[in-house]
Structure 1
Amino acid sequence: MTNHYVEDYSPGRGALTPRAWYPLSDAKALSLNGSWRLRVSPTADAEDDSFAEPGFDAGDWARVVVPGHWVLQGDGCFGRPAYTNHRYPFPVDPPRVPTENPTGDHLRVFDLPEDWPADGGAVLRFDGVESCARVWLNGTDIGEFKGSRLPHEFAVGHLLERSGNVLAVRVHQWSAGSYLEDQDQWWLPGIFRDVTLLHRPAGSAGDFFVHASYDHHTGRGTLLVDSDIEGRVTVPALGIDIATGETVTVPVCPWSAEVPTLYEGELTTEGERVPLRIGFRTVESADGLIKVNGRAVLFKGVNRHEWHRETGRALDLETMRQDVLLMKRHNLNAVRTSHYPPHPAFLDLCDEYGLWVIDECDLETHGFVEQAWRDNPADDDRWTPALLDRAARMVERDKNHPSVIIWSLGNEAGTGRGLTAMAEWIHARDTSRLVHYEGDGSCRDTDMYSRMYAGHAEVEQIGKELDGGTRKRRELPFILCEYAHAMGNGPGGLADYQRLFEAYDRLQGGFVWEWIDHGIAHPGLGYAYGGDFGEELHDGNFVCDGLLFPDRRPSPGLVEYKKVIEPVRIVPDGTGGSVRVTNGYDFADLSALAFEWSYQADGETVASGSLSVPALAPGESADVKLPQPPAGHEAVETQWTVRAVLAADTAWAPEGHEIAWGQIPVAARPLPVLRPAVRPVLGPVAGDGVITLGPAAFDARTGAPKAIGAIEVSDLRLDVWRAPTDNDEGTDWLTGSCDAKLWRDLGLHRMRHRLDAVEPGENALTVRTRVAPAASEFGLTTVYRWTSDGDRLRLAVSVSPDGEWPAPLPRLGVRLALACADTVRWFGAGPGEAYPDTKSAARLARHESTVDGLQTPYLRPQENGARADVRWAEIGGLRIEGDPAFHLTARRWTTEQLDAATHLTDLTPGDTVWVNLDHALHGIGTASCGPSPLPQYQLRAQRAEFSFVFSQLH
């Protein structure tokens, strides 16, 4: 390949016209996946083309697995991954790319199976190659292509031999196409999707388009199959047997993401039988809303990059299925395929299990924002053929999937004539779907108004139709194609967004960014992110911003999202004896669900049973009477918990899988107080450098506790610092402020504690301090007051701000060290972590964990693991009760060590367990990309009083 092709504007040469994708039987499809020979050269012109000739000896070449990325194989000997968010990792000089252009020459020798048909032709198909490829078969140059995440096919039947076929593919890391693929992900060259040889006999189906609409007024579906080749279409379950091009209307069950009804059919031509899976549904923009089958839909979605911690964007079918099952089990109903069409099998799974899909074109030119969009390919006519080629390859491949209801032109590609040309072509080719693009605020080319990371207040204004803009934009439905940046601890504010979506019809939901952390498995770091491979230009751990950890374990953010978007609402009805159940589905009634109740006393379930709930239609509510509370629990905190679970196995989850839940308080908790003394209690007693008070011993000089009973305690003091989260480190899109920078500039990470007085009194030990950062005149006047009833110890903390505090506090509470601790039990919210704006999924109950189990393994270590609304906790031999309820955190390393770590492997557990008992925490927000915590979740420096009662466990 010459540099002329690599650096020209064209999409390629030699490839067949794009067509619909469908699976063929093994008898008609030969997979060429597996072991290939590879030679990587540092530049695009370092080697000649002789390797493509039959008889070339590649015996000394390395072996790699296809599908795969060569930089993720060979332990780094083929090069290394590189991550940038939007900056191009090469000079911006379109369409040219550097001479230092890693080039992988691939070789595969194959024989045809003995039963390979001798008649007809054959097609060689590539489903994904990054970033461009030139292909030879048996020494013949058959073509070139760009468009990494798009299919390309070549007619090769005339070149095939029965044995010894030599397939040669030259892949360049960089090409002109790279300017169109700047998509906030690792740059990973290679043949990363399937390579397949397809038998195409005479008379086989070429391209075909299944039109299957649904009339919600009549309950009937209309089927028409357009085909390049004449044939017949049969759908046995519907009694359909028609010729291609003919139309038939019959009663059907419609397809939706909630009830994904598919009808098995077949397209028969002279040369083959093509399996069809037909879903009847109609998509339209009507009354200012996105409607499917006549009903407005509320998207509870996620953006999904394709990712695997070991194989990158090379995903097998079971990994794709795992993604879909996890989405369904966490109440998601939609996915945006950011920012390219996915592997075609993924859309089959969306059809089967039920997910609304925004199918996005393989287009992003975000790096041109660095030069104010000058020379942006989206507004340069020389690039328009390439843009149209990408649009066509997406639409033609995926047009027969009922799950795909919206086409997206791409992502963050500015504005311009090329995007308009794409929109016009798509609208003309497919009138059955809508078109999306976020980057043009005028909505000139789109059927909806789409935004990223708009704050709550602005979203509400849009919901109220007070947002201004063009007349067309004001009349369009609105979605947040990206919101709630799931980077590290968070995202916060999900419930507040959802309340807006459900309050205003125009707001049709959104898609959280994003599905999975793109951490790469690394032997020394656990997981690597940007910069860990020596990249000269990178964007750090911004590539780790998913609801799943790289091993596909759900993060607390996904657990929170599941609760926030649950399709059944269970809330108190206000009378105390009933619960209100509301069906939040768009299409399904509640007949598939069973309801269960349980009754908790002091967090422990003391009774349970089933609850009869009618099969409510979408949008309907009912007040359901609860049974009489069991007697004998009047002196403790009590509540009901009502759960909605699957009544039977489904394709995506087993019977009993929890869909939704709600808790209804009955009696409030009695506050912890010291018991009346059964014997005279002495006040603080000083002696030999120690002050004793009840079960505790204090340092007489500092007033700090040394032990409570037999339990060693040390370093108890006020604490206001946390290891900043990724969202703390972000810059608020609305205000331009960064919490972590403010905190560090103010010195909150290095507070100093001045001891003002240790005052043993008649009944109490009082310790007065001032806590303040160096170089500042403001601080916190803090008073610790200790009392005891002889067996238990009470600490009352009073905090008063001193001076003007220009920023919120990260936290406010006390920190102490225990010599040893392992098991942790608590009555409070759980079982997972929760912060002020991320605690919808935290369920009030008794919970148990280990100290290590309390940690959340965010790839970049940061504040994590707090348990909220804790009434009491037992740890390290102590029982701790709070007034009011508190946040509990326990770790085998200090906050300072957590703050200094860049990877989990930097954290070495020690013998000491550091415990935070927090009166309040600052919220999380989503400022890593979006807004900071809402005002109601910000921890302002103001007067506060809180207390804890300590006792030794026996």
Structure 2
Amino acid sequence: MTGLPWYTSFAPEHGTLPPRAWTAASDAARLPLGGDWAFRLSPAADAADTAFTEPGFDAGGWRTVTVPGHWVLQGKDGEFGGPAYTNVVYPFPVDPPHVPDENPTGDHLRRFDLPDDWPAEGGAVLRFDGVESCAQVWLNGTELGWFKGSRLAHEFAVGELLRERDNVLAVRVHQWSSGSYLEDQDQWWLPGVFREVTLLHRPEGAVGDHFVHASYDHATGTGELRVDCDVPARVRVPELGLDLAAGESVRMPVEPWSAEVPRLYDGELTAGGERIGLRIGFRSVYVEDGVLKANGRRILFRGVNRHEFHPETGRTLDPETMRADVELMKRHHVNAVRTSHYPPHPAFLDLCDTYGLWVIDEGDLETHGFEELGWRGNPVDDERWTPALLDRAARLVERDKNHPSVVLWSLGNECGTGAGLTAMARWIHDRDPSRPVHYEGDRSCADVDVYSRMYPPHAEVAEIGRREDGGPAARRALPLVLCEYAHAMGNGPGGLDEYQRLFETYERCQGGFVWEWIDHGLVHPVHGFGYGGDFGEELHDGNFVCDGLLFPDRTPSPGLLAYKKVIEPVRIAPGERPGTVAVRNLHDVADLSAYAFRWEFLADGEVVAEGPLTVPPTAAGERTEAALPEPPAHAADAETLWTVRALLAAATPWAESGHEMAWGQWPVTGRRPLAQPSPARRPAVEDGRIVLGPAVLDARSGALVSLGGLAVSGFGLDVWRAPTDNDEGAPWQPDVRWGPLWRQLGLHRMRHRTDGVAPDGEGVTVRSRLAPAGRDFGLAVTYRWSGGGAAARLDVDVVPEGTWPVPLPRLGVRLGLPAALDRAVWYGGGPGEAYPDTRAAARLGRWESTVAGLQTPYVRPQENGARIDTRWLELSDGAGAGLRVAGEPSFWFTARRWTHAELDAAAHRPDLVPGDTLWLNLDHALHGIGSQSCGPGVLPEHRLDASPASFALSFAPLGRG
């Protein structure tokens, strides 16, 4: 392999300084070099010479890009190429370490002057915090070196090359390099200088590297501090009264750091006339008796995987966006982040230290594309790549080692197995024995300290929790962490609640990290948000890149709201004694003194009384019961409920006072049955139509044609939904994928047949059959209409015929109404969408919305917007005229101004154009959602199998005399 260009060699870098700890706080001079850079794009690595690196080069004809930034997200009309998304496959031929001749190369040029107050003495370091995929660097015509490792920091010593004026910094960036084989993460390929470039002054004798060791002994309540430094230095922590030499150890009483109580002590490290800020968190993380613990307490991860992403700037994130992410996480009870699949911007870890988040810090390493080749040639099992792997391990650990939030090091992701991973694990264990090591891809767990799994079924998690999972004995002694579970792609994920109960039941099962935090939809001029294939990629994986708990604009999805409810650290339920509420503290550390509790009493969905509730400051892991007041006066036949809420008693850095942290709700008295229409009267038959109060049917077909004077179209039993991403499933999943099978069997094109219309003394019975073409199974349906006067009642009986090989997507009736009915008010579950296995966040009450507001804007349109447990629904126009629907039992409803077929056909949000019909589904039952876009399918208890069913609905006009 001699004679290879540097960017395809096995070596990871040349000319760079050894990696060291990142510091945000230092009084040494620094010069940010971001902003507008001159830019030239070439189609190949050797398509342009290096004359641009010389100080006198004229770049007047070049274009401009912003640094930090990705060039493919800048320019006009794709002049700099475009982003590309793949999940597993490499977007170039797999022939390591070679890359194609078609290797887009961006030459960047920046001129700068030193500030007038730049110190004359000492040296300087030029720092790059992130460049994809590699960079060759010149300063004032002198080559400094080159490096690979896109999400890793690299520095060059440049003091002797600096001038007071007109310094010329030249950087050549290749999109592809040998390093690209190590960076096959599930994300957009986005070349460029996407993190900061900074010039740092280094005084004589200043600190090169330092390592803060701050452990905590929970038995004695003391912490031990030692700060190692590569030069003689002093360590001062005023709050603790400490002033000692670097390298000395001291033990004293301290408050520990945890994700729930992120106690930090401010200090400083001084050497060579420079002061470096220290933010010290005392904590100890270890595995004991097969359980992962921090400060003597079991950790339960309520986590998310987090790619760095912004819909306009890709992996270039500003401080405000990072802070907003952390505050959103804290407000939704997320207590842990896995930095999938590379070290994050270092400022993000500062935020985790400050706000309190457990962090699995992951190496910039993934070789997933080799799995397609049976792992032939996998770099992690080729000794020629080991130096590059060790370089990535070192740059991970050395940069981030002083962050108390980092509690596990992760070697990387989806790399198979190999000796290179073993070498990385050994190096990390030797360098930092204070933190456990994580890696999911090796089931032997020979090199790691936790047993990590992706997307295991619930039954397997229970089996592991009981330590009945077999495998190597050493693995059975390790704690279980689900580094990925509950794939949040599109509508979902389902099954969160069942996972959480397993985590709370089995000590060994220590939670997990939902995949993932945010949809990676990039702003697109036509599609709104684009995904794989929308930018002309040769290979792509479609909308699999949109699998987050946030929409691309960082609006929380229903999935995040459900996750918040499932993982809430306070469990509120009726007490064992009558008239009490049970409050269980599920925190790992904190008591309940930060919470204020309030009760509400609801009658038919309306709050009729409320007040404060006294709950003692219950310790973590403990349970208490508190007395509720006597139920206030209410209508004798009303359905009544208690709701108890836990609120923040005072403002925090991440939420205002009064922010709701948890809630519980339970019935006191049940709901009244659906009233029979009165008075009943013989249906009138006029001009081929049957009239039963507000309902008018076609006398021949039995079809409903109007309700309360509103034209009705398309009425009938409905079993179809536009399949969700989880319905469609993933091709590699072993279980049945219902979405494709539903289509194969024709459930999207069911045929209706009327078998009889029979008026009688009190109503009309319509018998029909619903079945797919080409199949011998179906549903026998009986519609029984009755009533007169102001309301009409519909009783529906459904009996399956033949052998149904699949569950039903839904079961209910659908009807088309005038689109002018744009306002919905309902008593039932809300305010957002809910399905059988995603319903945790839905609470009973009276809610209202526009029809547009009922839609959930998934990046790829699909079934959405169902409201659960609806007692009654009112749809009205601007004048208040409309329709009231009540159900027995309660029903689900969706209302949208497009059909299932239109929703199914849409690839992007703008494809959905509202029509002149409001399509209303009133469902007796819905099939669950599951997580099968990458994880398990719908649990048996949430399947909608074809079986006999009966339900009733009543219809009455609104706003009409």
TM-score range, shorter chain: over 0.9
1:37 equivalent in structure 2:
38
- Residue 335 of structure 2 is aligned to residue 333 of structure 1: yes
Deviation of 1:710 (Å): 2.3
Give 1:573's aligned residue. Answer: 575
Q: CA, structure 1 residues 733+461, in 2 after alignment: closer, same or farther (shift >3 Å)?
A: farther
Deviation at residue 714 of structure 1 after TM alignment: 2.0
Task: Report the counterpart of residue 901 of structure 2 in structure 1.
Answer: 896
* 3-state secondary structure, aligned to 1:352: helix
CA distance in 1, matches of 2:779, 2:697: 23
Partner of 1:352: 354
Q: Distance in 2 between matches of 1:763 and 1:714?
A: 24
Displacement of 1:676: 4.0
Is the aligned partner of 1:278 residue 2:262? no
Instruction: Give 4+ residue runs of structure 1 displaced > 6 Å after superposition.
Output: none
1:403 to 378, 388, 405: 405
- 2:493–2:929 Cα contact (<8 Å) kept: yes
Contact kept, 8 Å, 1:96 with 1:175, in 2: the verdict is yes
User: Does the CA-based 8 Å contact 2:770-2:778 persist in structure 1?
Assistant: yes
Give the partner amino acid of 2:70: H
How much has 1:270 moved relative to structure 2? Answer: 2.2
- Correspondence for 1:377 among 373, 379, 383: 379
Give unmatched runs, 5+ long, in structure 1: none
> SS state of the match for residue 327, structure 1?
helix
Give the corresponding residue for 1:661: 663
| Counterpart position of 1:910 | 915
Map 1:794-805 onto structure 2 (within 5 A): 794-805=793-804
Letter in 2 for 1:457: A
From 608, 611, 614, the counterpart of 2:613:
611
Structure 2 residue matching 1:364: 3-state secondary structure: coil
1:763 is matched with 762
- For 1:292, the equivalent position in structure 2 comes to 294
Find the counterpart in structure 1 of residue 879 from structure 2.
Answer: none
Amino acid at match of 2:862: Q
In the alignment, the residues of structure 2 paired with residue 827 and residue 574 of structure 1 have an alpha-carbon distance, to the nearest angstrom, of 28
- Equivalent residue runs for 1:920-931 within 5 Å: 920-931=925-936
1:421-820 residue pairs with structure 2 within 5 A?
421-677=423-679, 681-731=680-730, 735-819=734-818, 820=820
**Secondary structure, aligned partner of 2:885:** strand
Contact persistence 1:205–1:271 (CA under 8 A)? no
The letter of the residue matching 1:116 is W
Which SS does the other structure have where 1:101 is aligned? strand
1:941 shift after superposition:
0.5
**Residues 1:19 and 2:12 are matched in the alignment:** no
- Report SS of the residue matched to 1:521: strand
Q: CA deviation at 1:766?
A: 1.0
Counterpart contact for 2:445–2:451, Cα < 8 Å:
yes
Aligned counterparts of 1:761 and 1:97: Cα–Cα separation in 2: 79
Q: In structure 1, what is the Cα distance between the partners aligned to 2:110 and 2:285?
A: 44
What secondary structure is seen at the aligned counterpart in 1 of 2:902?
helix
Cα distance between partner residues in 2 of 1:763 and 1:213? 80
Do the aligned residues in 1 keep the contact of 2:692 with 2:788 (CA within 8 Å)? no
Q: How big is each residue's C-alpha offset from its partner over 1:594-624, in whole Å with a ceiling of 9 and x where there is no partner? A: 1000000000000000000000001110111
1:82 to 84, 87, 93: 84
2:706 is aligned with what amino acid? A
How far does the alpha carbon of each residue in 1:373-406 deviate from its partner, in whole angstroms, 9 at most, with x for none?
1110001000000000000001000000000000
CA distance in 2 between counterparts of 1:813 and 1:643 reads: 34
1:791-841 deviation digits (Å, cap 9, x = unpaired)? 210001111101000000100000001113111011111100000000011
1:220 and 1:899 mapped to 2: Cα distance? 61
1:685 CA displacement: 1.4
Counterparts of 1:304-343 in structure 2, within 5 Å, are: 304-343=306-345
Secondary structure in structure 1 of the residue aligned to 2:5: helix
Q: CA deviation at 1:576?
A: 3.8
SS of the residue 1:462 aligns to: helix
Kept after mapping to 2: 8 A contact 1:733/1:927: no
- 2:955 — aligned with what? 950
Q: CA deviation at 1:26?
A: 7.5
Offset of 1:108 from its aligned partner?
0.3
Cα deviation code 1:441-480 (max 9, x no counterpart): 0000000100000000000000010000001000000010
- Once residues 317 and 543 of structure 1 are traced to their aligned partners in structure 2, the CA distance between those partners, rounded to angstroms, is 24
Number of residue pairs the alignment of both structures matches: 950
| Deviations 1:167-218, CA, capped at 9 Å, x for gaps | 0000000000000000000000000000000000101111000000111111
Paired with 2:365 and 2:642, the residues of 1 have a C-alpha distance of 51
The secondary structure found in structure 2 opposite 1:927 is: coil
1:46-85 equivalent positions in 2, closer than 5 A: 46-75=47-76, 76-85=78-87
Structure 2 counterpart of 1:387 = 389
Q: TM-score scaled to structure 2, two decimals?
A: 0.98
1:24, distance to aligned residue in structure 2 (A): 4.5
Residue identity opposite 2:7 in structure 1: V
* CA shift for structure 1 position 3: 5.5
* Distance in 2 (alpha carbons) for counterparts of 1:694 and 1:634: 29
Query: Separation in 2 of the partners of 1:595 and 1:851?
Result: 34
Does structure 2 conserve the Cα–Cα contact (< 8 Å) formed by 1:576 and 1:666? Answer: no
Distance, in Å, in 1 between the alignment partners of 2:509 and 2:171 is 47
Written as runs of structure 1 = structure 2, the 5 A alignment for 1:247-258 is: 247-258=249-260
- Partners of 1:26 and 1:80 lie apart in 2 by 40
| Displacement of 1:936 | 0.5
Deviation of 1:712 after TM superposition, in Å, equals 2.2
Letter in 1 for 2:84: A
Give, in whole Å, the separation in 1 of the partners of 2:16 and 2:4.
Answer: 19
d(CA) in 1 for partners of 2:668 and 2:385?
A: 66
Q: Which amino acid aligns with 2:823?
A: T
What TM-score do you get using the length of structure 1 for normalisation? 0.99
DSSP 3-state at the match of 1:952? strand
Q: Distance in 2 between matches of 1:220 and 1:723?
A: 58
Query: Could you tell me how far apart the structure 2 residues matched to 1:582 and 1:23 are?
Result: 40
Kept in 2: contact 1:604–1:846 (CA 8 A): yes
**Distance between the aligned counterparts of 2:315 and 2:171, measured in 1?**
19
Tell me the CA shift for residue 711 of structure 1: 2.2
* Alpha-carbon distance in 1 for matches of 2:696, 2:439: 66
**In the alignment, which residue of structure 2 is the partner of 1:166?**
168
Separation in 2, partners of 1:720, 1:372: 42
Is the CA contact (8 Å cut-off) linking 1:6 and 1:176 kept in structure 2?
yes
CA distance in 1, matches of 2:559, 2:183: 28
* Residue range with higher mean Cα deviation, 911-920 or 625-634: 625-634
Q: Distance in 2 between matches of 1:633 and 1:128?
A: 65
Q: Distance in 1 between matches of 2:28 and 2:386?
A: 39
The corresponding residue for 2:265 is 263
The CA RMSD over aligned residues, in Å, is 1.0
Q: Is this contact kept in 1: 2:27–2:275, CA < 8 A?
A: no
Give SS of 1:794's match.
strand
Alignment of 1:176-255 (within 5 A): 176-255=178-257
For residues 735 and 763 of structure 1, the distance between their equivalents in structure 2, rounded to whole angstroms, comes to 53
* Cα drift, residue 250 of structure 1: 1.1
Q: Which moved more, 1:626-635 or 1:857-866?
A: 626-635
Give the counterpart letter for 1:892 in structure 2.
Answer: R
Task: Determine the C-alpha separation between the residues in 1 that align with 2:246 and 2:42.
Answer: 50
Q: Kindly provide the CA deviation profile for residues 486-521 of structure 1, in whole angstroms up to 9, marking residues without a partner as x.
A: 000000000000000000000000000000000001
Amino acid at match of 1:146: K
1:737 is displaced (CA, Å) by 1.4
Name the residue aligned to 2:854. 854
Aligned to 1:150: 152
> Residue 695 of structure 1: CA displacement?
2.2
Tell me the distance in 1 between the aligned counterparts of 2:635 and 2:578.
16
Task: Tell me, yes or no, if the aligned pair for 2:28 and 2:275 is still in contact at 8 Å.
Answer: no
Q: Contact between 1:569 and 1:584, CA under 8 Å: does it hold in 2? A: yes
Following the alignment from structure 1 to structure 2, what is the Cα–Cα distance between the partners of residues 304 and 551? 15
Check whether the contact 2:483–2:512 (CA below 8 A) recurs between aligned residues.
Answer: yes
Distance 1:240 1:48 in 2: 56
* AA of the residue aligned to 1:526: G
**Structure 2 counterpart of 1:936:** 941
Residues 851-872 of structure 1: CA deviation (Å, up to 9, x unaligned)? 0000000000000000001011
Tell me which amino acid in the other structure corresponds to 1:247. S
